[in-house]
């Protein structure tokens, strides 16, 4: 049964999110963890190796160019993940949210021409000044880390205040995620949605606007040889964005 989008949005606005028992499950249930993982937007951990990967622009990074593919790849089983919680209803609902401009993806590509392949990415929901990260995948070393770095840079430029990661994992902890109590999370969520869940006070596309505005600037950063949806925005600039202090 299709998920009702107004109910789904209201659920996120009060701290709930949907999951399924496995990929083939025909029903969903609502989750509100006692401990919530968040990644403070001023606390991203940029290791030396990841900084080097970003600066080298090892991947072509885009936003919202392959949303349905990202969700489908996140829903696929993998060697270390024989099943996933993303069933057909959740996948279909997020594709509808994306068409409404509420759900977004970050994609990492490798190769050129016919060899070009989607090797990493993530997707989530944006409401108010909150971004609810849903899932990520990686088919190449560091691809999901690069996607997360670009997401954090994009959220910082766009005026977001909360990056919800749902459950803590070693992978997220290595990037700077922390756990907070349900009560603390509720306060952060309330602040992020203070203008109302339908008032998109933060702008997921601000990084692209920044790119367009600086495209003709003599002081713009050097273009990467890789194609990006953000024009002159490079991995080096992302590294600067996620480490600069407010």
- Rounded to whole angstroms, the Cα distance separating 47 from 145 reads 10
Give the three-state DSSP class for 42: coil
pLDDT greater at residue 197 or residue 32: 32
Burial class (CB in 10 A: 0-12, 13-18, 19+), 157: buried
- Rounded to whole angstroms, the Cα distance separating 234 from 223 reads 7
* pTM, to two decimals: 0.89
pLDDT of residue 218: 43
Give φ, ψ of 229 to 5 degrees.
Answer: -70, -20
pLDDT of residue 208: 87
Burial class (CB in 10 A: 0-12, 13-18, 19+), 4: exposed
Q: Tally the domains of the chain.
A: 1
* 159-200 pLDDT per residue, tens: 999 999 999 999 999 999 999 999 999 999 999 998 654 444
- Rounded to whole angstroms, the Cα distance separating 221 from 211 reads 10
Cα angle 127-131-136, degrees, rounded to a multiple of 5: 135
8 A C-beta contact, residue 15 and residue 32: yes
Q: Which H helix or E strand runs over 118?
A: strand 117-127
Residue 163: which of 124, 137, 200 has the closest Cα?
A: 124
pLDDT of residue 233: 84
**Dihedral sign, Cα of residue 227, residue 228, residue 231, residue 234:** negative
Q: Can you read off the two tokens belonging to residue 101?
A: 């401009």
With a pLDDT cut of 90, the percent of the chain lying above it is 80
* 191-245 pLDDT per residue, tens: 999 865 444 479 999 998 876 665 555 444 433 323 333 445 899 999 999 988 7
* 89-129 pLDDT per residue, tens: 999 999 999 999 999 999 999 999 999 999 999 999 999 99
* 44-93 pLDDT per residue, tens: 999 999 999 999 999 999 999 999 999 999 999 877 677 889 999 999 99
**Dihedral sign, Cα of residue 21, residue 134, residue 177, residue 226:** positive
- Strand partners of residue 130: 127, 162
Rounded to an integer, what is the distance from CA 105 to the centroid of its chain? 6
For residue 24, what is the domain's CATH number? 3.40.630.70
> What's the average model confidence in pLDDT over 133-143?
96
Which range of residues forms the domain containing residue 183?
5-243
pLDDT of residue 3: 96
8 A C-beta contact, residue 156 and residue 241: yes
């Amino acid at each position: 049964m299709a998920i009702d989008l107004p109910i789904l949005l209201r659920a996120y606005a009060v701290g709930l999110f949907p999951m399924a028992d496995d990929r083939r499950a025909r029903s969903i249930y609502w989750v509100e963890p006692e401990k919530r993982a968040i990644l403070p937007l001023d606390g991203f951990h940029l290791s030396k190796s990841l900084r080097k990967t970003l600066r080298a622009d090892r991947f072509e990074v885009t936003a919202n160019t392959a949303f349905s593919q990202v969700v489908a790849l996140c829903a696929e089983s993998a060697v270390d993940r024989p099943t996933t919680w993303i069933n057909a209803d959740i996948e279909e609902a997020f594709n509808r949210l994306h068409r409404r401009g509420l759900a977004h993806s970050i994609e990492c590509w490798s190769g050129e021409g016919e060899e070009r392949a989607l090797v990493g990415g993530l997707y989530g929901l944006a409401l108010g000044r909150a971004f609810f990260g849903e899932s990520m995948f990686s088919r190449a070393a560091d691809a999901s880390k690069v996607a997360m770095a670009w997401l954090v840079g994009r959220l910082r430029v766009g005026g977001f205040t909360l990056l919800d990661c749902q459950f803590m994992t070693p992978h997220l902890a290595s990037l700077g995620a922390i756990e907070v109590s349900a009560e603390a999370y509720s306060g952060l969520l309330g602040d992020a949605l203070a203008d109302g869940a339908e008032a998109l006070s933060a702008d997921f596309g601000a990084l692209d606007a920044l790119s367009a505005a600086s495209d003709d600037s003599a002081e713009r950063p050097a273009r990467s040889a890789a194609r990006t949806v953000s024009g002159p925005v490079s991995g080096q600039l992302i590294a600067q964005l996620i480490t600069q202090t407010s």
